[in-house]
């Protein structure tokens, strides 16, 4: 899922534990799945932001360039307004948009 088009909540919302464990049957497995997905989303956002910010880097920065760079400020504001990666992963998990598999226990 594209994090830019996510319809996740911007603020934290109280969740029903029974809804979180519905897909896996275990609350802790659900939390692990959501946390791993949040890490993936966070890395994707970080890479995207770093690639956009790298366009503005120069070998010599003077004080005037730092304060007058409106495009860089707009990029920062955009990323600040995005939902947090944890909220996006919860939204994806609750709407069955995350593929996960749980390996079966092997008997010897």
Read off the pTM: 0.77
The dihedral region occupied by 25, where left means phi > 0, alpha psi between -120 and 50, and beta the remainder, is left
- Confidence check: pLDDT of 23 > 80: yes
pLDDT of residue 101: 84
Residue 3 included in any domain: no
C-alpha to C-alpha distance for 58 and 45, rounded to whole angstroms? 22
Residue 6 included in any domain: no
Running DSSP on this structure, what letter comes out for residue 55?
G
Residue 11 included in any domain: no
Structural domain including 50 reads: 16-94
Q: What is the pLDDT of residues 33-86, one digit of tens each?
A: 999 999 999 999 999 988 888 877 666 656 555 566 778 888 888 888 888 899
C-alpha to C-alpha distance for 15 and 101, rounded to whole angstroms? 23
CA dihedral angle for residue 5, residue 97, residue 88, residue 22, rounded to 10 degrees: 150
Residue 108 included in any domain: no
Q: Which residue has the higher pLDDT, 19 or 106?
A: 19
Answer yes or no: are the C-beta atoms of 35 and 43 closer than 8 Å.
Answer: no
Residue 59 included in any domain: yes
pLDDT of residue 47: 93
Residue 85 included in any domain: yes
Residue 9 included in any domain: no
Number of domains into which the chain is organized? 1
Residue 89 included in any domain: yes
Q: Which residue has the tokens 């995207």?
A: 48
Percent of the chain with pLDDT over 90: 29
What does the block give as tokens for 54?
């790298």
How many residues are present in the chain? 108
């Amino acid at each position: 899922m594209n994090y830019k088009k996510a319809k996740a909540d911007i603020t934290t919302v109280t969740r029903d534990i029974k809804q979180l464990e519905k897909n896996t049957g275990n609350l802790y497995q659900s939390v692990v799945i959501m946390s791993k997905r949040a890490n993936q989303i966070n890395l994707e956002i970080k890479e995207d932001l770093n690639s956009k910010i790298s366009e503005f880097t120069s070998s010599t920065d003077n004080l005037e360039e730092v304060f007058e760079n409106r495009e860089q400020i707009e990029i920062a504001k955009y990323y600040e307004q995005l939902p947090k990666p944890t909220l996006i992963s919860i939204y994806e998990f609750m709407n069955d948009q995350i593929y996960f598999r749980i390996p079966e226990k092997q008997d010897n």
